[in-house]
Amino acid sequence: MAFTRVTRTVLTVLLIGIVPPATLAGEASTLLAQPGESVATFAGGCFWCVESDFDHVLGVVRTVSGYTGGDTDNPSYKDVTKGGTGHREAVQVIYDPEQTDFSTLVEVFWRSVDPTDADGQFCDRGQSYQTSIFAHDDEQRAVAEASKAALEASGVLGQPVVTPIEDAAPFFAAEEYHQNYYEQNPVRYKFYRFSCGRDGRIKELWGDEAHTGIEKN
């Protein structure tokens, strides 16, 4: 199902309802992590879906939707989706390193997105919906690059893996109405996810490996 930028905007308004004024939680960065917790940051298209996928991973403590990788401070949803800020919709995943590790989260990420799509994800097109793994340190970068190389070498997707590995940048939490959207608005969320063709495409790409590693807590 192909969506234009205009259609995507209309669909979002229908799903959210009357969009409230932008109220940002501000820059989140790694300060979200408490002692004994670690942070990973992924851009995988619509952050509603990325949050939902990672919230069901064993060891994930919480997730925050936001914007990162751009050139402006405190961007709003309207700013980012309009384009020109350089930000991607992204999710910070706060996890317990005693229950899971960054390598596992990267493997879950690959199997929850289309890493062969350079122009967006599913029905959502444009820079703000492009995928990326944002590394918070040299160790995360090394793990992500090794995982990407192994995925490409496997040939399982039959196409190049175009998802970049980037240094983590300032992260700005999205407006409150975006946080845990799949829980706050389950019917609208399920309609959006189905209409956007997300799960169908992931199943097409990954087969039985789709969403591998996602477990209910």
Q: Which residues are catalytic?
A: 46
Q: CA-CA distance, 107 to 81, in Å (whole number)? A: 27
DSSP line for 79-127: HHHHS-S--EEEEEEEE-TTT--HHHHHHHHHTTS-TT-SSEETTEESG
Q: CA-CA distance, 9 to 81, in Å (whole number)? A: 9
Q: CA-CA distance, 134 to 53, in Å (whole number)? A: 18
Question: Which of 13, 55, 8 lies closest to 182 in space, CA to CA?
Answer: 55
What the block records as the tokens of 135 is 């590394």
